[in-house]
Amino acid sequence: MASIDDTYIENRQRVQPTHTNNYESAHGGNIVKWMDEVGAMSAMRHAGETCVTAKISSLNFVRPVPQGDTCIIESYAYRSGKTSVRVRLRAFRESPRTGEREQTTDSYFVFVAVDESGSPTEVPDLRVDSDRCRRLKEEALELEPEV
């Protein structure tokens, strides 16, 4: 059984010209792809099984990630069901020269754990065993959209 801290992942992707739209900022589809990949890793760390995307409950783009900046994806599991894992995801733009960071995207994904035959399989309860875990869970639940 994993704790929220065990599922916390932060990944970085430098925004290259091939990742951008006509406005020289990261294409929204690329950001969603990066979020989906990192979110699945958080879900799998908890479930101990392959996890597939079942639902994107919310996806809010607040500001762009310019070409040349780093897109940081922050991900952690905050709730589990019988076969599902809910993951909070946020994206940030970061200047590679100064480290200045701004949140650009906020989202909630639901992943389902599957066995080798692709059938849903049970996941354990998610542990909350530190103040940081409690804070992350409370923040996710407070801002979680209606599912």
Give the domain CATH number at 20: 3.10.129.10
pTM, two decimal places: 0.94
**For the segment 59-105, what is each residue's pLDDT rounded down to a tens digit?**
999 999 999 999 999 999 999 999 999 999 999 999 999 999 999 99
**For the segment 1-40, what is each residue's pLDDT rounded down to a tens digit?**
789 999 999 999 999 999 999 999 999 999 999 999 999 9
pLDDT reported for residue 147: 58
- The candidate with the shortest Cα–Cα distance to 91, out of 60, 122, 55, 136, is 60
Write the DSSP assignment of 110-145 as a string of letters. Answer: EEEEE-TTS-B---PPPB--SHHHHHHHHHHHHHPP
Q: Domain range holding 45?
A: 4-143
CA–CA separation, 38 vs 67, rounded Å?
21
Give the CA count within 13 Å in the CB-facing half-sphere of 102. 9
Number of domains in the chain: 1
Write the DSSP assignment of 39-83 as a string of letters. Answer: HHHHHHHHHSSEEEEEEEEEEEE-S--BTTSEEEEEEEEEEE-SS
**For the segment 107-123, what is each residue's pLDDT rounded down to a tens digit?**
999 999 999 999 999 99
CA–CA separation, 14 vs 69, rounded Å?
6
Write the DSSP assignment of 15-27 as a string of letters. Answer: --GGGB-TTSBB-
For 120, list phi and psi in degrees, rounded to 5.
Answer: -55, 140
